[in-house]
Structure 1
Amino acid sequence: MPINLESVRPLPAERLHVEVYSTRTDMGNAAAHDVVKKMKELLAEKERIRMIFAAAPSQNEFLAGLTHADGIDWSRVTVFHMDEYIGLPEDDPRRFSRFLADRLFDIVRPGEVNLINTSKGLETECKRYGELLRAEPIDIVCLGIGENGHVAFNDPWVADFNDPKTVKIVQLDEACRNQQVHDGCFPDLEAVPTHAITLTIPILMAGAYLYCIVPGKTKQNAVKRTLYGRITPECPASVLRRHPNCTLYLDKDSYGN
């Protein structure tokens, strides 16, 4: 059960639902439980569902929870991921496609797995992946928030709430690249790629249901800005307060006090 904190509220008249848990494991398990419940509801209503996943250590407990869930026909699930580094070899374990394959896709075996391929012409790949995403509505988006408030790789300086693109090439800012070092994904800043392909904010916000999983002390400032600051691309995650069906899952460390 979430901690009963009356202070856990976004600004008045906004829609974001917030839950705070004692531990990171409890938080991840709760998010997995809720996503599984929604998946079952949707699969009872329609033949197939479409989902987008984030790839980051912050999602580990949540993804593990999904792999242990019973009663889901994953063959009726089409999956996408949010972003991918440019410049890493296809077999590099630090690629986000590899991260999700290892922790979820290769275990549950979705019926259709759509991965971003950065070894092709990049603009052509953005177009291809965007067309796949727009082909049918997105049912569920499972995401996180970066230390600088980014969602996917929409850092503050490239975030656009009305982006005309579905998928685009971005240069990563230093705060974002430093987070990859903090997370233990790369040994130092120089090793972190400088560019990536990312889904844009409008396609993420187009998902019918959003589940945002954000643990850890390094996320405290981003969480506070998301909940209580202005809704602005300066904190891209603040736009989540406009979504009609978004739940934000925090642990005590990310919520702070």
Structure 2
Amino acid sequence: MSTPLSRFTADSLPVEVYASEADLGRAAAERAAATIRDAVRRRGAARVVVATGNSQYAFTDALREQEIPWGRVTVFHMDEYVRIAADHPASFRRWIRERIEVPFAPAAVHYIDGNAADPEAECARYEAELRELPLDLVCMGVGENGHLAFNEPYQASFDDDRWARVITLTPRSREQQVGEGHFATVEDVPATAISLTVPALLAAEAVQVCVPEQRKAAAIAATLNDPVSTACPATILRRSPHATLFLDTDSASKIDSLR
């Protein structure tokens, strides 16, 4: 059992700080496994949304150590670039396939089709799949500019009636993708993506937000200190008591005043 260095609550949001990214990943994996097992015990199945990206590596690696009834789990992901092939190295479908579908063999994986001829129709199709039954767990991160999935500053809506939309990436988000090594230049990063909306991300019974690394420290400080607004979409987490924010000492390094 991974033990946090500290725990506190930011408004309604439980926050846990761990000594390392690996410890953070293990703690989140333990919590996710328990949530999935409970859903399967109660309803016979679990429906889980999983984020992609470098910040989720420790979490998904640690899932290998957990006892999870994957044969009863349906997996969704939360965003995908428009007009990107499923086998592109930066495709989020490829990320989910390689890090979730292949190693764990869940009962089903529902993919956002970035190659869909009509992205708006693809949003409607995916939203319908998400809404078929309750979501048990969402596992996500926070972007360097405070975005959730690809709900960007000032573009996000906290009361959106849609669960999936086509969005335009901000320059900061495109730069993050280059910095993480997924694209060679900003110009190579697709300008648009299909993303689950904020209400969709918070619709699950439990929400886990894994945010390691120093490069996320400013975004986390804003998440926990700034007024709740779409200027920093992640601030809405402070109104989400069913969520837990998992940090390491690097990502928590700018929030000492809150501990």
For the aligned pair, the TM-score class normalised by the smaller chain equals over 0.9
Q: CA deviation at 1:190?
A: 1.5
CA displacement, residues 92-144 of structure 1 (integer Å, 9 cap, x when unaligned): 12100111111112111111110001222211111100000111111100000
Confirm or deny: 8 A CA contact 1:67 1:104 kept in the other structure.
Answer: no
1:2 to 1, 4, 17: 4
Structure 1 length-normalised TM: 0.94
Secondary structure (helix, strand or coil) at the match of 2:208 reads strand
Per the alignment, residue 231 of structure 2 pairs with 234
Per the alignment, residue 249 of structure 1 pairs with 246
Q: CA deviation at 1:47?
A: 0.9
Mapped to 2, the partners of 1:220 and 1:9 lie a distance apart of: 17
Q: CA deviation at 1:188?
A: 1.9
Mapped to 2, the partners of 1:159 and 1:175 lie a distance apart of: 15
2:105 to 101, 105, 109: 109
Number of equivalences: 251
The residue identity in structure 1 corresponding to 2:20 is T
| Structure 1 gaps, min length 5 | none
Q: CA deviation at 1:87?
A: 2.2
Q: CA deviation at 1:69?
A: 1.5
Single out whichever of 182-191 and 52-61 deviates more from structure 2. Answer: 182-191
Mapped to 1, the partners of 2:180 and 2:53 lie a distance apart of: 8
Structure 2 length-normalised TM: 0.94
Secondary structure (helix, strand or coil) at the match of 2:6 reads coil
Q: CA deviation at 1:255?
A: 0.4
| Structure 2 gaps, min length 5 | none
Per the alignment, residue 164 of structure 1 pairs with 161
Report the identity percentage: 39
Q: CA deviation at 1:209?
A: 0.2
Q: Does 1:189 align with 2:186?
A: yes
Q: CA deviation at 1:206?
A: 0.8
Mapped to 2, the partners of 1:98 and 1:226 lie a distance apart of: 29
Aligned-residue CA RMSD (Å): 1.2
Confirm or deny: 8 A CA contact 1:3 1:22 kept in the other structure.
Answer: yes
Deviating 4+ runs (over 6 angstroms): none
Confirm or deny: 8 A CA contact 1:84 1:95 kept in the other structure.
Answer: yes
